Amino acid sequence: MYDIPYDAYMTMIRKAIIKRMNELNLNPNQLSEILKGKIPRQTIYDFLSGKTDARSEVVSELIKVLKLELRPIKKKSKKRGK
């Protein structure tokens, strides 16, 4: 699909989630309270710290609760020489 390694992809998602949390003035503890019963607190901490990657269900729930919109990266087109 895309030429981005999985770990780079997960890092980009993690950074977007942390950026959005900062915009909303949410810390990991507050986020875990919002998601109580859906995602274990330790899973949130481990993902945000980069200790582990998260399953798609976890990432999906984080994106949903933070109202994030992820779009594919557009490849830069190479200009052809004249």
Separation CA 1–CA 52 (nearest Å): 23
What is the chain's mean pLDDT, rounded?
85
- Once rounded to an integer, what is the mean pLDDT over residues 47-55? 87
The b/e string for 35-53 (b: 16+ C-beta within 10 A; e otherwise) is beeebeeebbeebbeeeeb
Separation CA 3–CA 54 (nearest Å): 20
The contacts of residue 64 (CB under 8 Å, 6+ apart) are none
Question: Can you give the pTM of this predicted structure?
Answer: 0.77
- Once rounded to an integer, what is the mean pLDDT over residues 14-41? 94
64: confidence class by pLDDT, cuts 50, 70, 90: very high
pLDDT of residue 75: 66
pLDDT of residue 42: 94
Question: For the chain, which residues make up each domain, given as ranges?
Answer: 6-65
61: confidence class by pLDDT, cuts 50, 70, 90: very high
